Amino acid sequence: MKKFVSPATVTAVIVLTLAAYSEAKADTKHLEIRSSKQCPDGLVIQTQTADGMIEVDVFANASAITNAGQLYKDGAAISANLTIATAKEKIASVNLYGRPDGDGVRYSFQIAESAAQTSSLHLHAGLYEKNGFQTLGGTVKMQVILGEFATEKTDNPEEK
């Protein structure tokens, strides 16, 4: 004999799934960063320009960016992706390797001023449970518009 799932059960599962998904989406922050003054706590971006190149230095403390607190003190992580583009098309997308630096991670790279005008750095900070699964909330996605940093002076390490 075949067993059928009642329409009420199917409806309940769909509603609960959509509710969980919408909660997760609601707990994700999306930031567009156009200057060092727009950086959230825990993120410092410094640039220097020389010979047509922009040297970018990014320090990111995932715990501070995500407001991890004591509960997720060691469960915050960050990743970075550099998207290089021209006005016509995306040329490359590269995952950046961050080196540990104190309480955070440091990313450094150089990009031509002309390429920076249409390129961006994407940072993703998230919280993770002890079992390695990402939490439903606490995610911060940041898009750094590199062209805006080409004209900004951020040589002072204390400036944020």
3-class state of residue 100 by DSSP: strand
Cβ contact 128:77 at 8 Å? yes
Which domain, by its residues, includes 49?
28-149
Rounded to a whole number, what is the largest CA-CA distance in the chain?
Answer: 78
Dihedrals phi, psi of 83, to nearest 5 degrees: -105, 120
Q: Strands 53-60 and 104-112, how do they pair? A: antiparallel
Q: Output the domain CATH number for residue 43.
A: 2.60.40
pLDDT in tens, 61-78: 999 999 888 778 778 999
Give Cα separations from 62 to 51, 125, 132 (angstroms): 32, 6, 16
Identify the DSSP state of 97.
Answer: P
Alpha-carbon distance 75 to 54, whole Å?
33
Instruction: Decide if 131 is inside a domain.
Output: yes
Alpha-carbon distance 160 to 151, whole Å?
16
Instruction: Decide if 17 is inside a domain.
Output: no
Residue 86 has which token pair?
A: 């021209």
Identify the DSSP state of 134.
Answer: B
Residue 96 has which token pair?
A: 């950046």
Instruction: Decide if 157 is inside a domain.
Output: no
- Nearest alpha carbon to residue 55 among 130, 141, 116: 116
pLDDT in tens, 74-122: 789 999 999 999 888 999 999 999 999 999 999 999 999 989 999 999 9
pTM beyond 0.85, yes or no: no
Instruction: Decide if 83 is inside a domain.
Output: yes
Instruction: Decide if 22 is inside a domain.
Output: no
Residue 110 has which token pair?
A: 């150089």
25 pLDDT higher than 60: no
Instruction: Decide if 134 is inside a domain.
Output: yes
What is the tally of structural domains in the chain? 1
124 pLDDT higher than 50: yes
Instruction: Decide if 113 is inside a domain.
Output: yes
Instruction: Decide if 110 is inside a domain.
Output: yes
